C-alpha cells in the first residue's frame, strides 16, 4: 500500500515539474531565490497529494458513508482547491509584466493589468482570495470533529 503511494506520488511530482516549466520560472525576477518558490510550490503540491490520498483512503475504506468522515472528506477537497488556487496565484505572481500595483501603501491600492493580460490579471485577482477555499475547509474539519465527539459520547453512554 505504502509502495503504491510513493509511486503515485513520484508520478505526480514529475507531472508538476513538467507543468511548471522551469525555464519560464527562471526568467522571472520577482523572486531573487527561485528555489524558494519551487520548494513552496512543491509543498503545495505535496499538500494536494496528501489530501487526495486521504480522500482516496476514506472512499476506499467506505468511511465516507459516515457523516463525520464525509465532512472530513469535504475538508480535504476544500484544501485541495485552496492549494491549487494558491499554486496558481504564486505562479501568476512569479510572471513578469502581467500587472502592476499602484498606491500600495494606502487602502486605495489597485491592480493594473498590463496590455493584453486582462484575463490573467483577473484570474490572479480572484485567485488571491484563496481564503474562500481554506476557511470552509477548516470549518468542515471543525464540524467533522464535532461529529466524532458527539458520536464518541454516544458510544460511551451506551
The span of 12-20, 21-29, 133-141 binding other proteins (CB under 8 A) equals 133-141
Of positions 18, 33, 62, 157, contacts other proteins by CB under 8 A:
33
Nearest alpha-carbon partner for 76 in 57, 93, 102, 90: 57
Q: What is the DSSP letter of 114?
A: P
Smallest distance from the beta carbon of 27 to other proteins, in angstroms? 20
Smallest distance from the beta carbon of 14 to other proteins, in angstroms? 18
Residue 138 engages other proteins in binding (rule: CB under 8 A): yes
β pairing state of 110-113 and 99-102: antiparallel
DSSP three-state, residue 108: coil
CA-CA distances (angstroms) from residue 67 to 70, 71, 75, 77, 147? 5, 6, 12, 15, 7
Q: What is the DSSP letter of 66?
A: S
Smallest distance from the beta carbon of 100 to other proteins, in angstroms? 10
In the region spanning residues 79 to 108, those forming contacts with other proteins, defined by CB under 8 A, are 101, 104-108
Give counts: helices (H), strands (E), the chain.
Answer: 6, 2
Give residues in contact with other proteins (CB under 8 A): 1-2, 5, 33, 36, 39-40, 43-44, 46-47, 49-51, 53-54, 57, 61, 76, 101, 104-113, 118, 121-122, 125, 128-132, 134-135, 138-139, 141-142, 145-146, 148-149, 152-153, 156
Amino acid at each position: 500500500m505504502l509502495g503504491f503511494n510513493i509511486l503515485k506520488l513520484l508520478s505526480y511530482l514529475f507531472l508538476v515539474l513538467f507543468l511548471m516549466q522551469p525555464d519560464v520560472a527562471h526568467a522571472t525576477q520577482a523572486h531573487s531565490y527561485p528555489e524558494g518558490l519551487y520548494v513552496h510550490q512543491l509543498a503545495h503540491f505535496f499538500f494536494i497529494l496528501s489530501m487526495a490520498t486521504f480522500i482516496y483512503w476514506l472512499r476506499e475504506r467506505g468511511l465516507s458513508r459516515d457523516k463525520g468522515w464525509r465532512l472530513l472528506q469535504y475538508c480535504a477537497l476544500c484544501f485541495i482547491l485552496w492549494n491549487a488556487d494558491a499554486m496558481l496565484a504564486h505562479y501568476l505572481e512569479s510572471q513578469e509584466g502581467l500587472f502592476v500595483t499602484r498606491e500600495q501603501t494606502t487602502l486605495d491600492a489597485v491592480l493594473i493589468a498590463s496590455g493584453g493580460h486582462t484575463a490573467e490579471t483577473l484570474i490572479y485577482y480572484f485567485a488571491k482570495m484563496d481564503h474562500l477555499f481554506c476557511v470552509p475547509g477548516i470549518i468542515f474539519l471543525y464540524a467533522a470533529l464535532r461529529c466524532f465527539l458527539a458520536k464518541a459520547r454516544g458510544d460511551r453512554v451506551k
